[in-house]
Structure 1
Amino acid sequence: MPAEETETPVTAFLLVKTTPEWLGLTPRERADAFATQVVPAIEAKTTGVRSRFYDTEFYTARVTDVWVWEADDHRAYQLLIDALRETPFWDRYFEVVDLLVGVENGYARTYGLDPLATIAT
């Protein structure tokens, strides 16, 4: 009997562009907005999600930031997006330019292969 597979973690890359409203806030107001408007909304809707944020405005005018969200499974990811859409961060403070969702090493899981990766020495 094959081993029971666990749900595959999901990684989402949200490519966003700041709005004038967001840029009109001070850096402290921006941090406070995230802590008081985004974090509580996410915590109320889902568990098993983590985030990282990357500034890209130095290299492109189309996208100012990339938000990387990792979710334990597809349900947690869906709940995360629902929560984000109910905050001013979705299309008020940031325009969502694109949303790229993937499963790390999905091909390896499909074909029963070891994942390919590079290691710098």
Structure 2
Amino acid sequence: MTASVKEPVLTVFMLVKTTPEWLAFSVDERFRLLREHVEPILKTHADEVSMRFYDVEFYSARVTDIWVWDATSHHAYELVVEALRETPFWDRFFEVVEILPGVENAFARNYNREALSAS
């Protein structure tokens, strides 16, 4: 479900926790609900926003998943959140625990330096 977003100006790490209601659904029903509620939002905003899912329930009790959003503008990200809030995924199927926005390598850019890289 990840689209190729032009150079993101914002990356948001949305820490979420599954609810008992979500876990009570079968795997097939979960995927059906994702296609019904989330996929249309991703498709509508695919030119400006992409999303990646990370499962972390193996290592954390506080959150079960991290949704990583890359957006070409703050406004594009805000529109996705507004749309998500109108679905049962926002605080019904998943509790939104924390939202951490960030700008990749802002420190280096703000001081006109090359970003550190391991490659």
TM-score of the pair, normalised by structure 2 = 0.86
Alpha-carbon distance between aligned partners in 2 of 1:99 and 1:40, rounded to the nearest angstrom: 22
**Structure 2 portions without partners, runs of 5+:** 1-6
User: Kindly tell me: are residues 79 and 47 of structure 1, through their superposed partners in 2, closer, same or farther at Cα, counting changes over 3 Å?
Assistant: farther
Alpha-carbon distance between aligned partners in 1 of 2:19 and 2:106, rounded to the nearest angstrom: 34
1:79-118 → structure 2 map (5 Å cutoff):
79-118=79-118
Alpha-carbon distance between aligned partners in 1 of 2:42 and 2:14, rounded to the nearest angstrom: 16
Larger Rg: 1
Alpha-carbon distance between aligned partners in 1 of 2:12 and 2:27, rounded to the nearest angstrom: 25
Please say which of residues 73-82 and 17-26 is displaced more in the overlay.
73-82
- 2:15 corresponds to 1:15: yes
SS in 2 for 1:104: coil
**Structure 1 portions without partners, runs of 5+:** 1-6
Alpha-carbon distance between aligned partners in 2 of 1:115 and 1:37, rounded to the nearest angstrom: 38
Per the TM alignment, residue 29 of structure 1 is displaced from its structure 2 partner at its CA by 0.9
Alpha-carbon distance between aligned partners in 2 of 1:41 and 1:50, rounded to the nearest angstrom: 10
What per-residue deviation string (whole Å, max 9, x for no partner) do you get for residues 1-32 of structure 1?
Answer: xxxxxx85211111000001100111111111
Q: Is the 8 A contact 1:46 1:76 kept in 2?
A: no
TM-score of the pair, normalised by structure 1 = 0.85
Per the TM alignment, residue 46 of structure 1 is displaced from its structure 2 partner at its CA by 7.0
Identity %: 53
CA root-mean-square deviation: 1.7
Alpha-carbon distance between aligned partners in 1 of 2:62 and 2:95, rounded to the nearest angstrom: 10
1:57-96 → structure 2 map (5 Å cutoff):
57-96=57-96
- 2:43 corresponds to 1:38: no
SS in 2 for 1:76: helix
